[in-house]
Each structure stands twice: as structure tokens, then as C-alpha cells.
Structure 1
Amino acid sequence: MHNAIKFLKHANWSVRLGLAVVVINVLCALFAPWVAPYGETEIVGDVWEPVMWSATAVPHDPPAILGTDQLGRDLLSRLMFGARNTIALALVTTALAFGVGVLLGFLAATMKGWVDTLLSTGIDILMAFPTLIFALVVLAVMGTGTTVLIVVIALIGATRVYRISRAVAMDIEVMEYVEAARLRGEGLWWVMKDEILPNALPPLVAEFGLRFCFVFLFISALSFLGLGLQPPTADLGAMVQENAAAISFGILTPLIPAGAIALLTVGVNLVVDSFLHKASGIKDVP
């Protein structure tokens, strides 16, 4: 706790802003069922009612602060539940991608030979397919269930994680302390877990944040195309698509979930940039 307070005290405004955005989104994701004014699918008024401070706002109890969506559901409540669903899905998918990618990358770097060749060739084949087209084809064939969605996006993410974890592990694997561990008779798993992983954590943690942003945006893009989380489940990308027709009438409702997506992405990137800067050992010039 003391280290966290010390870090915030010396952090610049961009890091504090990024942390504030991330914390607010996490709190909304954790406590959405208790803090949201209305239920996830509850219809509270007419379609596309304006924000509460508008002169034409319709009174509600509790108030519909951000107005309503295309079905008359409270937009603020939908945003909270959408953040809950999308962030949870992105975290699970990113964690799965990292588990698979890091394990395979470390195996390729430490075992070398035919193992490295086989794994790298397989990854190259997967990466040869355009990301969005690959996901669209698989989801169109296998369906748009949550499990299929997680597996497909995790598979795509694992290929990128494999590349960076393999590159980092190959640099660490030739170090003297790794050779000393092998001479002591330590096994492959011990070397990966106790020698390579601790020294590879800074770039991998930073990559986790960046990969989370990619997965978060990718899920939103698939939902916008109708292949992500299915209605009536709230999803930020789907909310943009569902309310897109409002733009034709000069109603800015779809820009609110779009702004929430962009804000979380920027917030995570600000925190990741700060972590990378600190891990690099570069001192700020006074």
C-alpha cells in the first residue's frame, strides 16, 4: 500500500489519468448489478431519450442520466453492464492467450531444434491469415457462442504473444545464470519457471496490457459486426452498432459507448507506457 501511494505521488498527470480511467471501469465492472440505476435489459422509457441535462429530457426516477437507447433502456446502466461483460471477456481471453503463447514461446527458446522449427512454422501459418477474416470465418462456421469467441480470439492473440515471449526467452536463455542452472542439473520446467520467467516479466506485463487493449477492441469490433456477445447481453461494441441509426437523426447516442471504448483503451495504454518507462530504468530529466 505504501509503495502504491509513493508511486502515485511521483507519477505524472497522464499516469494518474490512466489509472483513474482503469479504476472507474473496473469498479463499474465489479459492482454493475448494485450501482447501475436500472437492470441490464429493463425498458425505462421511449427510444433515444436525450441526456438528463437536456431541455427536452424526460423525467425518470432514478433519472436516465445519459438518456435511453434504441429500445428505451437506460444507457448508463447498459454502459456499466457492457463494461462488465466486455472487460471480463477480454481479461479471460487475454489470460488464456498469454498462458498458451508464453508456454510455447519458452519451450521453443529453450528446447530449440525441431521443437522451435515446428512451433514457429505453425505460428507463421496462423499469422499468415488476416486476423479479422480468420475470426469471421471460424465464427461463421462454429457459431458465436462465448466459448468459441474466447478460444478464437485467444488463438489469434497467442500467436503474437508467442513471438515476443520466444524472442525475450532466447535473449535470457544464453545468460550465464541459466547455463549455471543447467550445469547444476535443473530441469527444463525449473529453468523456464525460476530463471527465464522472472527476468522476462517486465516486457511480458507490458505486452499483457497492450494485448488486452487489442482483445478489447477486437471483441467490440466483432460485436459491432454481430458476431460478438449476442443480445440482450450488453456489449460496448454492439451498443454502437445498435444505436448507429440515431446519427441520421442528429442523435449522438452511439458516440457514448464508442467514447467509453476509446477512453478505456487510452487509459490502459497510459498505464502500460508508464510501466515500460519504469522497467527500462530510464530516469526522467528534471
Structure 2
Amino acid sequence: MTTPASASPSNWALTFRALLRNRSAVIGGTITLVVLLGALLAPIIAPWDPLKFDPPNRLSGPSAEHWLGTDQYGRDLLSRVLYGARFSLSVAAVSVLAGLLVGGTLGLLAGYFRGWLDLTISRLADILIAYPAILLAIAFLAFLGGGFINLVLAISVVFVGPFIRVARAAVLTVREELYVEAGRAMGASDGRMIFRTILPNAAAPLIVEVTLRFAYAVLAEAALSFLGLGIQPPFPALGSMVSEGRAFLSLSPWGSLVPGSAIVLMVLGFNLLGDGLRDALDPRLRQR
């Protein structure tokens, strides 16, 4: 049986070259890489302890000592933003991965087997998507309490429905291809067809969805932390930093401006990267 075009090495090489020629992908990838490096290397590059109080320097603006200023307790904002980004990206990575594993697997099974299984899983996706995402996350956290694990659970549950939809739609398209029919005719098992044939050729929409869900996860974590439902002070979280800085906007805007700008930068990077991946992985857009 011949290798499908979408899964061939030469086609992936063309996709990678198209990605490098895409301005949005390059800019978004650069921003994302810088943010990831800053978060991963926070213990090394942070100039101050993010929890260290320095009352004489509280609410100060950018200076040679504190590049991005300090908050109401004199804590260095650059250090706190680096650690806050580290926490946000950790929550985003685990919640997106959990949503992909659960939602992607359910969508894969629904699209391949169809019938009553497809009907049941599709109705589950409809129920999850029907609830406003942030309200569903707030309800989970109000019931379970704050903390890293509960925050991840709340956000990942929100992502299960969209991942089911994307995976199911991709599989429904792939399963009608001739090479799938040929595999069935040759006696390939369902497991082999799903993991060796269907999944590699349905991966492109899921890859794009993952990058876009990263942006949503960062925003969701920031919103929940802003409302006081995320990790609790004094540990730095970007959303809670924005919330704490509101009371001192007239004295020093840096306490809210700096973490708010970090959130915007992360979301912008993931969105641009997702748009670039979508254009590079779609053969019709790539040919243009």
C-alpha cells in the first residue's frame, strides 16, 4: 500500500519550508521561543528573588536596579513576571495536553467507528461547549478549590469539547480516502488503521488547535488568577499581579502594566504561530 501524500517525509519538508516563509509563523515562533526560554531559565536569569520584600523601593519605576520597576511591596517586577510566565505556561501545557489526550482520543474514536459511539461522544462535546468556558472553569474551581492541579483540571475540562470536534471532523475527512479503504480491504486491524493511517493524516488540524488552545489557556489562567481562583499569593501569577496592581495605578502603573503586557505578548505569539501553522499545513493555502 502506498504512503499517503500528507504523511510522506517530502510533504512534511515542504510544509516546514512553507512555515519558514510565513511571516506570521516566524514572528509568532520567535516570540514564543523567547517567552519559553525566559520562563524555563527564570531561576537563572531572574535578577531578584520574586518573593523578596524591599519596602524602601516599593512602587518604583524602571531603573538600573529594577529594570521593570517594583510592586507595592518592593518586589522586582521582572523577576515576578518571569516566574509568573513559568507558572502560566506550565498550566497551559498540562491542561492542553490533558484536553488533547481526552478530547482527541474521543474524537478519533467517534469519527472512525461512527454509530452510537459517535452519537454519544458528540452529545458530550455539545454539552461541554454549550457552557461558557470561563463560567465552567469557575464552577470547577469553586467546588474543588484553587491550586495547580485543580486549575489544570478546570481548564482541561473546558478544552475537551473543542478537541473532540476538531479530531472528529479531521477523521471523518480522512476515513473516506482510498488508502483507508485499501487498508481495510487488506485486512488491517482497527488499531493499526487508527494509529498508523488515520491519526498521522488527521494530525494537522490538531497541531493547529493545540497552538491556539495554548493562547486560550494562558488567558484562562490569567483570568482565573485575576479573580483569585488560581494559585494564591505571594507566589507570582500574572493575573493576580494585574489584580494587585489595580489599587496603585495612580501611583505607579507598572504593577499592572508589566504583567498585562506579558500576557498580551504570550497570547500574541501563540496566535501568530497557530495562524502560520494553519497556512503551512493546509495544502490549498500553501499553494497560494
Unaligned runs of 5+ in 1: 54-62
Residue 261 of structure 2 is aligned with which of 259, 262, 276?
Answer: 259
Aligned match of 2:4: none
Distance across 1 between alignment mates of 2:37 and 2:158: 28
The answer (yes or no) to whether the contact 2:22–2:280 under 8 Å persists in 1 is no
The answer to whether residue 33 in structure 2 is matched with residue 23 in structure 1 is: yes
**Corresponding residue SS for 1:67:** coil
Change (3 A) 1:209 1:52: same
Aligned match of 2:277: 275
Q: Calculate percent identity across the aligned residue pairs.
A: 36
Change (3 A) 1:213 1:25: same
Distance across 2 between alignment mates of 1:24 and 1:242: 26
The answer to whether residue 91 in structure 2 is matched with residue 119 in structure 1 is: no
Change (3 A) 1:84 1:117: same
Deviation at residue 196 of structure 1 after TM alignment: 1.2
The answer to whether residue 46 in structure 2 is matched with residue 36 in structure 1 is: yes
Task: Give the partner amino acid of 2:59.
Answer: W
| Structure 1 length-normalised TM | 0.89
Aligned match of 2:233: 231
Change (3 A) 1:37 1:8: farther
Q: How many pairs were matched up? A: 272
The answer (yes or no) to whether the contact 1:209–1:272 under 8 Å persists in 2 is yes
The answer to whether residue 57 in structure 2 is matched with residue 66 in structure 1 is: no
The answer to whether residue 52 in structure 2 is matched with residue 52 in structure 1 is: no
Change (3 A) 1:13 1:188: closer
Deviation at residue 117 of structure 1 after TM alignment: 1.1
Alignment of 1:172-211 (within 5 A): 172-211=174-213
| Structure 2 length-normalised TM | 0.88
Deviation at residue 41 of structure 1 after TM alignment: 0.9
Deviation at residue 147 of structure 1 after TM alignment: 1.3
Aligned match of 2:147: 145
Task: Give the partner amino acid of 1:127.
Answer: I
Aligned match of 2:8: none
The answer (yes or no) to whether the contact 1:246–1:252 under 8 Å persists in 2 is no
Deviation at residue 104 of structure 1 after TM alignment: 0.2
**Corresponding residue SS for 1:29:** helix
The answer (yes or no) to whether the contact 2:19–2:277 under 8 Å persists in 1 is no
Change (3 A) 1:31 1:141: same
Unaligned runs of 5+ in 2: 1-12
**Corresponding residue SS for 2:211:** helix
Distance across 2 between alignment mates of 1:9 and 1:180: 32
Distance across 2 between alignment mates of 1:15 and 1:121: 35
Distance across 2 between alignment mates of 1:12 and 1:175: 29
Q: Alpha-carbon deviations, 1:218-253, whole Å to 9, x = none?
A: 111000000112212211111111111122335343
Task: Give the partner amino acid of 1:135.
Answer: A
